[in-house]
Amino acid sequence: MSKQKTEEKTVIRLIDTDLDGTLPVIRAIRAIKGIGFTMSKAIVYAAKLNPNKKLMELSEEELKRLEDCILNPKKYRIPSYLLNRRRDPFEGKDYHLVGQDVEIKMKEDIKREIALGTYRGWRHKLGQPVRGQKTRSHFRTGRTVGVVRKKEGK
């Protein structure tokens, strides 16, 4: 007779992201795009979870509460200064985007800047640094920067 082993979930899927279940909750949810260090702390405490508990040790109810808190942070009274999309240019509301929504909105914003013809839009279009960085030694792709020496004996 074979014994059935109870397998613990070491990979947990939340918001279209595979998370490592062996990590503490506060560290594991940072793998979701759009959630950083401070936001993960705020989410875990707002969802009333033990931050040091491993993700795989959470019950189904706790996982649902965690996912709801990630998707609706305002419902759990997470302050607006922690949200990653404040004063949306179209609606003027505060949002927190996670997962693929972050990338989609970022691409839309860049397209809008390019269409408006702003300085930032032009920099994006030309592939140059947008936030004022120097370009003398960085952002050169495909070439070596430096002095080219003559071959000896010629």
Contact present, 130 and 124 (Cβ < 8 Å): yes
Looking at residues 31-37, what average pLDDT do you find?
A: 93
Please tell me the predicted confidence (pLDDT) of residue 144: 62
Return the CATH number of 11-82, one of 1.10.8.50, 1.10.10.10, 3.20.20.20, 1.20.1440.230: 1.10.8.50
pTM: 0.74
Q: How far apart are CA 52 and CA 100, in angstroms?
A: 27
Looking at every residue in the chain, the average pLDDT score rounds to: 87
Please tell me the predicted confidence (pLDDT) of residue 50: 93
Contact present, 48 and 40 (Cβ < 8 Å): no
pLDDT digits (tens, 9 = 90+) for 43-99: 999 999 999 999 999 999 999 999 999 999 999 999 999 998 899 888 889 989 999
Nearest residue to 62 via CA among 78, 46, 73: 46
Q: How far apart are CA 103 and CA 69, in angstroms?
A: 21
Please tell me the predicted confidence (pLDDT) of residue 133: 85
